[in-house]
A and B are shown apart, each in its own frame.
Chain A
Amino acid sequence: MIAAALFLACCGLAIAGALGAALVRNLFHAALLLGLSLCGVAGLYLFLHAYYLACVQIVVYVGGILVLILFATLFSADVMGRLQRTPRWLLALGTVGAAVAGSTAWQLGSQVLAARPAPAAVRETPPGHDVGAIGDLLLGDWLLPFLAAGFLLTVALVGAVATVRRHQRTREVAHG
């Protein structure tokens, strides 16, 4: 029962956080809400017995990327200059949406969790001892995708910088 409640809490957190991040107009709030959503997903990983993934989720996404986003938001003069209030109705809508999503998840989750033991692959590896195997895989059989993912992130970063720089330049041109 407690497990089911925790599971539902994680679901609600993930869904409500994502909804909020997409809907609020204040960028700073949006980033914080995104963090909540990411934490909720990390909780779901725990329930799936994927402890390593849950740690990575917290450390890399919440601890690293989200902090970067927050920094970027705080230092961007444009956003700070025009912090907008989130409209009340949107918050209300978000709450209702989260409640609906949560109750649906209740139905699903309580049954699923009760019936489902950990998958075989997870049961074979004792908890906490799968990190080495993951490392072997990433730098062995899956080296190419691993490297490609790195390049993907690099390119995404370069693309973002290029886009922002071009926008700024055109704005400068536009303002003389």
Chain B
Amino acid sequence: MIAGTPFTLGSPETCLGVGLLAVLLADMVLARTHQQLTAWLAVLTAAVAMAIAWHTPVAGLPFGTPARTAAIAIIGLVLLANTRVGEQDHGAWSTNVLAIGLGASLTASAADFVTLWLGLELMSLPGYVLAGWRARDRRAAEAGMKYVLFGGVASALTLFGISHLYGLTGQLDFGLAAPAGPLSPTLVAALCLSTIGLGYKLTVVPFHFYAPDVYQGAPAIAVAAVSIAPKIAAMAAVVRLLTNLPFAGADLALAGLAIVSLGIACFTALVQHDARRILAFSGIGHAGALLLAAACLPGQALGATLHYLLAYGAANLGAFVCLWLLEPKNGSGALADLAGAWTRRPGITALLSLFLLSLAGLPPLAGFLAKWNVLAMALQRDAGVADRPWVTWGAVALLLSTPIAAWAYLQILRAAVLALPPPETTRESRRPDAGAMAVLAICAAATLGLGLWFDAASTLDAMAR
């Protein structure tokens, strides 16, 4: 019998769904002057959902519990950072961001392909709306359009693959779909097709084309909502697929994708002139590193993967919030428009530097330890681990890409810290409120803490087992 992902009332999905509807209602009922309440209601929803997720294990996937909690936490932090922005309608913003959280939560806990696909779609649809948030901007419109088209194709191909999978095995459940013997080529093709949606969310190389344009066109805070939590959730799904459907050559395929992603991302990032584009390519490179960690599964790589996700999430969220606070009124992310950020807002620029250096992987920040863990897993030669030359080459690629990627991050630092302020220094940017500062403080603490706490990965590994 086909069995879908179990549903229980006390799940974070329920909480997020009810909260989403409540926010919608509140948006309709409340007077204009009290609109901000909806934003706080959304933050509260995310906080409660996070608490529930922490205490509710994901059935059949211990890794899913912390991953799901982290994804919801990221969503909550994004909401917390943007509670006080008058020019947006809060209802739509909060609903869409919460929906991404709901989708992420579903994706991370999905045990069958239908739920997985619905979760991916739930993350994508609000993404389309948020990417086109700045309607007046031509570039944003183009980015939104690209996003919708690419996303639509990826989603259709995923669905196509899932239908083949069902046709071939009569099952939609991850675990049950695995036949006893070796996989037939058709089944492998179907599996590959059905994971395209995951690759798209992870921005792994053949599915990455949309990311730079979308990141450039959308407001930085919307990018933070669209990019980080879905990546965490998609990674949880990847882990579940790999543990339930182990097939020979998975490590080769993953390491190959990782090498290509790392290589293309670091070199392309070098020639960009927009901070958010650079971060988009950074995301592509980090997705490659994550796939490399996944290629080391099974083994102790669960903790390494989880640590990488947390480190990447904290630094990336912090960087996007900083960029959002620093960006000028027209929302441009161009490096030239960052000039003189240091003189205008030294504290936020210093934090931005911290996050970028963590992304670059400099010790003693979280990004360094994340890289360390992945390398340790890739090079490990304990008994029972077969020799995997591809994974070792992936580790070499990860290392070689490090200084080049650091160079790209330095372009942002150069613009924000080293460049002279333009003659008219009266350029306005957002005034950070308590919520945004709290988010930055949390991200900074996580970036330092996850870097200095060297045993984080093994602790997380015990949790994810």
Interface residues of A (CB under 8 A from B): 141-145, 147-149, 151-152, 154-156, 158-159, 161-163, 165-167, 170, 173-174
CB atoms of A156 and B125 under 8 A apart = yes
Name the contact of B115 in the complex, choosing from A148, A161, A170, A174 (C-beta under 8 A): A148
Smallest beta-carbon distance B1→chain A, Å = 8
Interface residues on chain B, number (Cβ under 8 Å): 34
> In the complex, which residues 78-127 of chain B have their Cβ closer than 8 Å to any Cβ of chain A?
89, 92, 95-96, 99, 102, 106, 112, 114-115, 118-119, 121-122, 125-126
Q: In the complex, which residues of chain A have a beta carbon less than 8 angstroms from the beta carbon of B13?
A: 144, 148
User: Contacts A152-B122, A158-B95 given; 4 further ones with Cβ under 8 A?
Assistant: A141-B2, A148-B102, A149-B118, A170-B136
Q: Are B135 and A155 in contact (CB under 8 A)?
A: no
Say if the beta carbon of B279 comes within 8 Å of chain A: no
Binding site for A on B (CB under 8 A): 1-7, 13, 17, 20-21, 24, 89, 92, 95-96, 99, 102, 106, 112, 114-115, 118-119, 121-122, 125-126, 128-129, 132-133, 135-136
B96 touches A151 (CB 8 A): no
Decide yes or no: A148 and B106 within 8 Å by CB, A155-B126, A156-B125, A159-B126 being known contacts: yes
Between-chain CB contacts (< 8 Å), 16 pairs? A141-B1, A141-B2, A143-B4, A145-B5, A145-B114, A145-B118, A148-B119, A151-B17, A152-B118, A158-B24, A159-B128, A161-B92, A162-B92, A162-B96, A163-B129, A174-B136
CA separation between A165 and B2, bound complex, in Å?
A: 42
Q: A151-B17, A151-B20, A158-B24 are in contact. Are A142 and B4 (CB under 8 A)?
A: yes
Among B2, B21, B106: residue with most chain A CB under 10 A: B106
Kindly state the separation between the CA atoms of A154 and B114 in the bound complex, as whole angstroms: 18
A147-B8 Cα distance, complex, nearest whole Å? 12
B5 and A144 contacting across the interface, CB-CB below 8 Å? yes
Main secondary structure of the interface of A (DSSP, over half): helix
Q: How far is the CA of A144 from the CA of B125 in the complex (A)?
A: 19
Contact between chains at A147 and B114 (CB < 8 Å): no
Q: Which residue of the partner chain A has the closest CB to B167?
A: A119
Indicate if the CB atoms of B96 and A158 lie closer than 8 Å.
yes
Give the residues in chain A near B4, CB-CB below 8 Å: 141-145
Contacts A145-B115, A159-B128 given: A166-B135 contact, CB under 8 Å?
yes
Q: In the complex, are the beta carbons of A152 and B7 less than 8 A apart?
A: no
The docked-state distance in angstroms from the alpha carbon of A63 to that of B132 is 31
Q: How close is B141's CB to chain A, nearest CB, in angstroms? A: 10
> Given contacts A141-B3, A142-B4, A158-B24, are A151 and B133 in contact (CB under 8 A)?
no
With A147-B7, A155-B126 as known contacts, state yes or no: A167 contacts B96, CB within 8 Å. Answer: no
Asked whether A144 lies within 8 Å of B7 as measured between CB atoms, the reply is yes
Closest-by-CB residue of B relative to A148 is B118
Residue contact A159 to B129, C-beta cutoff 8 Å: yes
B221 to chain A, nearest CB (A): 16
Interface contact B7-A155, CB-CB below 8 Å: no
Contact across chains for A152 and B121 when beta carbons are under 8 A apart: yes
Tell me which residues across on chain A come within 8 A of B122, comparing CB atoms: 148, 151-152, 155
Q: Are A147 and B17 in contact (CB under 8 A)?
A: yes
Instruction: For the complex, give the distance between the alpha carbons of A167 and B99 in Å.
Output: 21
Decide: B99 and A151 in contact? CB cutoff 8 A.
Answer: yes
Residues of A within 8 A of B2 (CB): 141
For B27, the closest partner residue in chain A by CB is A158
* CB–CB A151/B7 < 8 A: no
Shortest CB distance A91–B (Å): 25
In the bound complex, residues from chain A placing their C-beta under 8 Å from that of B129 are 159, 162-163
Q: Which of A141, A143, A148, A159 has the most B CB atoms < 10 Å from its CB?
A: A148
Q: A155 contacts B99, CB within 8 Å?
A: yes
Question: Which residues of chain B are near A165, meaning CB under 8 Å?
Answer: 89, 92
Question: In the complex, what residues of B have CB within 8 A of residue A144's CB?
Answer: 4-7, 13, 106, 115
Smallest beta-carbon distance B417→chain A, Å: 34
A155 to B96, Cβ gap below 8 A?
yes
Interface hub of B20, B89, B129 (most chain A Cβ within 10 A): B129
A132 to B126, CA, bound (A): 34
Whether A158 lies near B92 (C-beta < 8 A) is: yes
Cross-chain contact A163 with B96 (CB below 8 angstroms): no
Q: Which residues in A have their C-beta under 8 angstroms from that of B106?
A: 144, 148
- CB pair A170–B135 under 8 Å, yes or no, is yes
In the complex, the answer to whether A163 meets B132 with C-beta atoms within 8 Å is: yes
Chain A residues whose CB sits within 8 angstroms of the CB of B95 once the complex forms? 155, 158, 162
Name the 5 nearest CB pairs between A and B, nearest first.
Answer: A162-B92, A159-B129, A144-B7, A155-B99, A148-B118
A159 contact from B20, B96, B102, Cβ within 8 A: B96
Contact partners of A158 in chain B: CB under 8 A: 24, 92, 95-96, 99
Q: Are A159 and B119 in touch, CB under 8 angstroms?
A: no
Closest to B3 in A: A141
CA distance A62 to B13 in the complex (A): 31
In the complex, A143 Cα to B51 Cα: how many Å?
Answer: 23
* Alpha-carbon gap, A145 to B112, bound state (A): 9
Q: Which B residue sits closest to A120, measured CB to CB?
A: B170
Nearest chain B CB to A147 CB, angstrom units: 7
B371 to chain A, nearest CB (A): 35
List B contacts of A155 (CB < 8 A): 20, 95-96, 99, 122, 125-126
Measured CB to CB, the nearest residue on chain B to A153 is: B125
What is the CB-to-nearest-CB distance from A1 to chain B, in angstroms, rounded to a whole number?
Answer: 27
Instruction: Compute how far the CA of A147 lies from the CA of B9 in the bound complex, rounded to whole angstroms.
Output: 12
Q: How distant is the Cα of A121 from the Cα of B133 in the complex, in angstroms?
A: 47
CB distance from A15 to the nearest CB of B (A): 16
With the chains together, A173 CA to B1 CA distance in Å? 57
Q: How far is the CB of B219 from chain A (nearest CB, A)?
A: 12
User: Complex Cα distance A155/B118, Å?
Assistant: 12
Bound-complex Cα distance A145 to B121 (A): 12
A144 to B114, CA, bound (A): 10
